[in-house]
Homo-oligomer: A and B are copies of this chain.
């Protein structure tokens, strides 16, 4: 290891990775689906407290939060908890936010998992489980970074905030609540899975719902009806073509490695209410990738236009146009200047600990855009594991990444904020 000070070395020695992995496995055990995050939030607040942070736990006021222009959700909540732990106070240094979400998506059919989705089992150097990667792993690595700084007795010259947020998967209500509560800083890092690349750019994603109308009839006379299922196939083909056009057109240097930086993916379909009736309605829901710097309204119009053109060429759809609704999670694209000091500091720490620096954009929507757009906070993502393993069976994160990220975040926080031994 080069370029590591004695104080930094002391902090790294206080970073107990066995303890960190045990806590992560425990946290994976909480089935913290959207709107069911309370128990996990209370647990991590307790762990923050135990790690020397001053912890702010509050009931989010959703009635007022919903008035915010950056608000969106897919899962309605009557209540939910904000949790922010703080180490250090303002002594002339910079401030930094580490932000991670505690909510997870459904685990799907257990038969598709090789390991139990809620046990955080470690096999061949990887921890398995829903949320181990996305992103309780990054969140716990951040907590253990802060904990090590505290245990080593290092005094920071500015505030280091660790935010555990709810609702990232369905629109980011938790991060927005932290912004509204007044938490700000000179920079923020979100340890979402980036394969430890530094990501100063994030593609957007808007949730979309398409309703295709058919005409019901008894299945024994199906030709008297119009199947919404068959008519959806016409729309689907138009969406496949739209995705190809957009991705060929919008190229960005930080996304040079991606074949498909802005995917359009239909995730759910529901049609019909009786096997022997012709389906009179089909509802499809999906995510529509938005390009860096792209105008969201123009992107939505392009989608609507593509569906309208497909409908215009179909005798039934022409007279019964599909309904398009923009709903739930609205993830705007966001970008932070690659010359901002947080990028260089993070790159330096990552490299000092033996990592190879990569800087690239991420294709997925996350809370970065809320911190950038509504918090005005330069933000990057940098975290353990590969997001391609998220949202599916056998989600897992490499243990080595968890340890490396925890160490890098400790050094980055110390160097960015400044400290006295």
Contacts and interface: CB of A to CB of B under 8 A. Distances in A.
Given A205-B220, A259-B223, A392-B217, A279 B268 contact: yes
A189 interface: no
A217 B388 contact: yes
A305 interface: no
Interface string A223-257: 11101011001001000000000000000000000
B267 A268 contact: no
A273 B108 contact: yes
Given A275-B328, A388-B224, A280 B112 contact: yes
Interface residues of A, number: 66
A286 interface: yes
Contacts of A280: 108-109, 112, 392-393
Number of copies: 2
A129 to B, nearest CB: 15
A218 B280 CA distance: 30
A281 interface: yes
Given A263-B222, A392-B215, A275 B285 contact: yes
Interface of A is mostly: mixed
Interface centre among A108, A218, A393 (most CB of B within 10 A): A218
A98 interface: no
A106 interface: yes
A24 interface: no
Given A109-B281, A271-B268, A391-B277, A263 B219 contact: yes
B329 A276 contact: yes
Contact of A265 (B265, B278, B364): B278
Contact of A207 (B263, B275, B278, B387): B275
A272 B363 CA distance: 21
